[in-house]
């Protein structure tokens, strides 16, 4: 889970005597006990999730009056949620948020939002540019 690999010596020592942390003092391990640090340490990517949530809320606020800007916010939010899911693929909240955005996209396509992008004369498109 942490991506840390310890030497065989320290693994054997703690396997044979798992309660020997206290006699080792305040720092029971040192850098010589560490064999390798994995490429990726698993952690909750709360920053990406929070940024995705803010972008999703901006999209929701813009949806009624500027669906083109809202779609841009939603795309950025999905990117942030995907970053959060890279570090924690089982994060159900990020998955739910992505599903909410996908639902908005389906609604937008039903309203013809995709066609609005190519009509430069529409006020919403001019406002977005």
Whether residue 117 contacts residue 68, with contact meaning beta carbons closer than 8 Å, is answered with yes
pLDDT tens digit sequence for 59-117: 999 888 888 888 889 999 999 999 999 888 888 999 999 999 998 888 776 666 655 55
Tell me how crowded residue 52 is: count the other CB atoms within 10 A of its CB: 27
How many whole angstroms separate alpha carbon 90 and alpha carbon 68?
31
pTM for this entry: 0.55
Annotated domain spans of the chain: 4-37, 46-128
């Amino acid at each position: 889970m942490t991506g840390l690999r310890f030497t065989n010596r320290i693994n054997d020592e703690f396997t044979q005597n798992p309660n020997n942390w206290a006699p080792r003092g305040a720092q029971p391990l040192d850098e010589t006990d560490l064999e390798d640090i994995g490429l990726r340490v698993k952690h909750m990517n709360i920053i990406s999730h929070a940024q995705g949530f803010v972008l999703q809320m901006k999209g929701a606020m813009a949806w009624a009056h500027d669906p083109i800007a809202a779609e841009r916010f939603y795309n950025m939010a999905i990117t942030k949620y995907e970053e959060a899911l890279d570090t924690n693929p089982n994060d159900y909240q990020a998955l739910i948020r992505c599903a909410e955005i996908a639902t908005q996209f389906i609604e937008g396509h039903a309203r013809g939002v995709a066609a609005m992008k190519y009509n430069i004369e529409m006020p919403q498109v001019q406002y977005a540019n």
